[in-house]
Structure 1
Amino acid sequence: MQKTSDINVVETRRLPSPAELLAAEPKTEAQAEFIARTREEIQRLLFSADKRFLLIVGPCSIHDTAAGAEYARRLAALAREVADRVLIVMRVYFEKPRTAIGWKGLIMDPRLDGSHDIAAGLLAARRFLREVLDLGLPTATELLDPITPQYIADLICWSAIGARTTESQTHRQMASGLSMPLGFKNSTDGTLAAAINAIKAGSQPQTFLGIDTDGRASAIVTRGNPYCHIVLRGGAKGPNYSAAHIAEAAAALAKAGLSRSILVDCSHDNSAKKPERQAEVLREITRQLIAADTAVMGAMVESNLLPGNQPFPQPREKLRYGVSITDGCIGWETTESLIRELHAALAPRFA
């Protein structure tokens, strides 16, 4: 018989089921309680009268768990100092969307050598998330592959759907079943319609194809995620964090019958992809927050131990420690100074 399927498939590697991986690397009761409590805090901050500022900060991506752990230890100590005005959540990003080709993240290629040992990547991701949580530091990630949440979502406090996938029906359906607050980014062209439609879809019951915890193909039926919101990241026409842009986004959300909860991504097109300009963006939205009523509830910042980024691929032994291999980041010294500045600037809100 003429072959009509798997013509271009070279190999199929069996992965552990989600249940098997969760049993091999289980969360503790203390971790579960911390995740649930932090999710509730983020929900209150985004959708109620909590005046604290939500700051999601950390490496563009985790490629070296040792450097990531050092960053997490520093951030956890600083987070405790500013917790009265700023709720800090660490970016723990394991999946990277690609316009064409490139490294797709720790889960897909944990050894950074093209071997694509996904089973090892999933295990490394769970172990790293647990390490961060044990520091008392909430976790945030972008969920890209719709199967990934079955393996790691129980360890995530906040998640994002990126600009490239906000329009995807698959990701909107996935969002409807997730258990944490979730931000949809505006489209890469800067328009808001796709993100607003995504919030509507994600908040509604959905039925779609997926896998259960035993890895079996299943029809997934959800009740909808009521804690979806928008993330402004700029676009092809430039940034969208000015007071006028924020007011426009808030009006569009209200017109759609949605909560006026806005997070600003200080990176990407809002900083013209120049990491050092993230500080300018954060200062401006902080100024808006203090000066007048605004729908901005928080921000995202890409930060690492050392500033900038480095070319990749290259031999792993030649990589500089603590430097991003994806988007450029600000370094730790700048990060610490900026967070302390933010904390001080927010004082009038708590007077």
Structure 2
Amino acid sequence: MGMKYNKDLPSPNALKEEYPLSPKVAAIIKEKTKEVCDVFTGKSNKFVVVIGPCSADNEDSVCEYVTRLAKVNEQVKDKLLIIPRVYTNKPRTTGSGYKGMLHQPNPEKGPDLYEGIIAIRKMHLRTIAESGLPAADEMLYPENRSYLDDLLVYEAVGARSVENQQHRLTASGMDIPIGMKNPTSGDYSVMLNSVTAAQNPHRFIYRGHDVTTEGNPLAHVILRGGVDKYGASIPNYHYEDLVRLLEMYSAEEYLNPAAIIDANHYNSNKQYKEQVRIVSEVLHSRNYNPDLKKLIKGVMIESYLEEGTQSIGPGSVYGKSITDPCLGWTESEQLLYKIADQC
């Protein structure tokens, strides 16, 4: 085989024993998991905001960001459910470029998966301990989520992964809400097929084991826009798009119909400042139509300490994205208060 084996990695159980949850962190996660699940089952009317960097590339800056979020959360927690976006692995369209902390704990150095799995677990543990806010991450690699599955309160399957069988089956064995994004084509039916698969039980191979799952009733959709055959962005956050989604959800028997709207990616054509306007439009559509208010559970926003993006290298700005551009902190804080007022 044209494959070199670099190093044996510890099992998820071994890593959890080496970097365990403290009783305080375990209690925080248990409480927050129930709170998040209650939103998706309809027991809670809080509006979800999954917000944070495009990629969690530096432990110190990510922890500072999440600690700031926690202070805002104290002011809006009666109306909003803020979930920090701490994404530790990144899909790359062409396979090249920074793939996240899992691959490169230090973005300026080469890949080191052994140090990477340690780094991402330590970072998630630290953000919760310092802020009291458990986070969301992306399930880019189904096998790797086992290193973090006791720490997360929300997960997402990306546009490039949502048609993959292993992602769908793994999602069916999770006990937290998981959002299935529309594929890059924007096809709603593919996205909803993924929700169906995730909500049903399955038997399959996972990390060398024959496993059976019960199905995840909290699997739902994330609208993030798509592209046409020429690569031009096609947003899907407009009122007509949301109504069409509602109609498709209503035509079949899904458990706990729900949607999160991703304000960046192809919905904004990666024009990150557009996220403010897009969120406002989503809130307006939701308030205009009572059925949409029940369906649209929240939004996803890319935000960091400093606005924009930068290249990896010497002289980099602390707290500025090295992948997609993000809103800066000041604008993000204002947006959170605005969402709380209008949701």
Q: TM-score, normalized by length of structure 1?
A: 0.91
Asked if structure 1 preserves the Cα contact closer than 8 Å seen for 2:310 and 2:321, the reply is yes
Match of 1:130 in 2: 125
Offset at 1:123? 1.1
Q: Give the Cα–Cα distance (whole angstroms) in 1 for the partners of residues 201 and 342 of structure 2.
A: 41
**Does 1:320 find its partner at 2:317?**
yes
Instruction: Name the SS of the counterpart of 2:39 in structure 1.
Output: helix
- Give unpaired runs (5+ residues) of structure 2: 229-233
Instruction: Name the SS of the counterpart of 2:137 in structure 1.
Output: strand
Which of 51, 70, 74 aligns to 1:80? It is 74
Asked if structure 1 preserves the Cα contact closer than 8 Å seen for 2:224 and 2:266, the reply is yes
Q: Give the Cα–Cα distance (whole angstroms) in 1 for the partners of residues 174 and 111 of structure 2.
A: 26
Match of 1:214 in 2: none
Question: For 1:96-118, what per-residue CA distance to the aligned partner results, in whole angstroms no more than 9, with x for missing partners?
Answer: 01111111110111122453211
Which of 279, 282, 287 aligns to 1:285? It is 282
Asked if structure 2 preserves the Cα contact closer than 8 Å seen for 1:88 and 1:138, the reply is no
Q: Give the Cα–Cα distance (whole angstroms) in 2 for the partners of residues 260 and 18 of structure 1.
A: 32
Letter in 1 for 2:128: L
Match of 2:223 in 1: 232
Instruction: Name the SS of the counterpart of 1:131 in structure 2.
Output: helix
Q: Give the Cα–Cα distance (whole angstroms) in 2 for the partners of residues 31 and 229 of structure 1.
A: 27
Q: Give the Cα–Cα distance (whole angstroms) in 2 for the partners of residues 254 and 28 of structure 1.
A: 43
Match of 1:54 in 2: 48
Question: For 1:250-293, what per-residue CA distance to the aligned partner results, in whole angstroms no more than 9, with x for missing partners?
Answer: 11112121143111000011111100000011101111222221
Offset at 1:30? 2.4
Offset at 1:149? 1.4
Letter in 2 for 1:219: D
**Does 1:203 find its partner at 2:199?**
yes
**Cα RMSD over matched residues?**
1.3
**Does 1:267 find its partner at 2:264?**
yes
Letter in 2 for 1:148: N
Instruction: Name the SS of the counterpart of 1:125 in structure 2.
Output: helix
Q: Give the Cα–Cα distance (whole angstroms) in 1 for the partners of residues 216 and 26 of structure 2.
A: 19
Instruction: Name the SS of the counterpart of 2:337 in structure 1.
Output: helix
Identical-residue share of aligned pairs (%): 32
Match of 1:308 in 2: 308
Offset at 1:326? 0.6
Q: TM-score, normalized by length of structure 2?
A: 0.94
Asked if structure 2 preserves the Cα contact closer than 8 Å seen for 1:196 and 1:256, the reply is no
**Does 1:219 find its partner at 2:219?**
no
Instruction: Name the SS of the counterpart of 1:275 in structure 2.
Output: coil
Offset at 1:49? 4.5
Letter in 1 for 2:279: L
Instruction: Name the SS of the counterpart of 2:205 in structure 1.
Output: strand
Match of 2:185 in 1: 189
**Does 1:91 find its partner at 2:48?**
no
Instruction: Name the SS of the counterpart of 2:155 in structure 1.
Output: strand
**Does 1:112 find its partner at 2:107?**
yes
- Give unpaired runs (5+ residues) of structure 1: 1-5, 212-216, 347-351
Which of 121, 128, 141 aligns to 1:145? It is 141
Question: For 1:106-157, what per-residue CA distance to the aligned partner results, in whole angstroms no more than 9, with x for missing partners?
Answer: 0111122453211211111111111121211130010111211111111000
Asked if structure 1 preserves the Cα contact closer than 8 Å seen for 2:134 and 2:151, the reply is no
Letter in 1 for 2:318: Y
Match of 1:63 in 2: 57
Matches within 5 A, 1:327-346: 327-346=324-343
Q: Give the Cα–Cα distance (whole angstroms) in 2 for the partners of residues 223 and 123 of structure 1.
A: 30
Question: For 1:327-348, what per-residue CA distance to the aligned partner results, in whole angstroms no more than 9, with x for missing partners?
Answer: 11000000001111111223xx
